[in-house]
A = this chain, B = another copy of it.
Amino acid sequence: MSPEQRLLIEHECGKLPLLFAKYADDGDHAALADLFMANGTYDRPFQPGFPFHGRAAIQSIFRDRPPILVRHLVTNVLVAVVSETRARGSNYVVMMSNHAQVDPPQSSNGIFVGGFDDEYVLDGGKWRFASRKGHLALHEGGTIPNFPTPTDEARGLK
C-alpha cells in the first residue's frame, strides 16, 4: 500500500468519530446509525460491557431518549490501517451536557473524559464502524449517570 493510499484511509476512518459526535449532538440518530455496519456494535462509555448490536438497536439509544443539550469533543484520533478494507483506531471523547435545559447556552453537569477503541471496515465503498468499544476514565465535577442494565431486546440480541 502506498503512503498516499494509507493516508486516505486514515483520513476517511478518522472522520467517523467526529461524524458520530456531530450526529449525536445534533440529534440526527438516523445518520449516526448509518455510520455503523448493518451488524455493527456499540458499547457505551458510561456502561461498558453491554454492547448494542445492529443499526436499529444503536439508533434507538439516541432516538428514544429525551432531548438533551450535549457536546462530544473528540480528540486524539489515531487510525492504524490493517488492510485496504480494515482499520483500527482509538480516540478520546470529552462529554459535557445538560439534561434539564436544552436551549444553549447552559451550565454543564460536569466534564467527563473517556474514549473509544474502534474497528473500521470498508463497506460498499464507504468506511463504517464495525465496532465501538467505549470507556470512561475521569470526570471533573458532575455525577456519573447510573443507567439501568439494558434488556437483551434493547441491545438487539433478540
Q: A11-B10, A75-B73, A77-B18 are in contact. Are A107 and B137 (CB under 8 A)?
A: no
- B-chain residues with CB within 8 Å of residue A114 when the two chains form the complex: 105
* A139 at interface by CB-CB < 8 Å: yes
Given the known A-B contacts A4-B4, A11-B10, are A104 and B73 also in contact in the complex, defined by CB atoms under 8 Å?
no
Known: A19-B78, A71-B113, A73-B113. Is A138-B8 also a contact (CB below 8 A)? no
B-chain residues with CB within 8 Å of residue A121 when the two chains form the complex:
none
Q: Does A7 contact B (CB under 8 A)?
A: yes
Contact B11 A4 (CB under 8 A): no
**Which residues of A pack against B, CB within 8 Å?**
3-4, 7-8, 10-11, 15, 18-19, 21-22, 69, 71-78, 90, 92, 94, 96-98, 104-108, 110-115, 135-141, 144
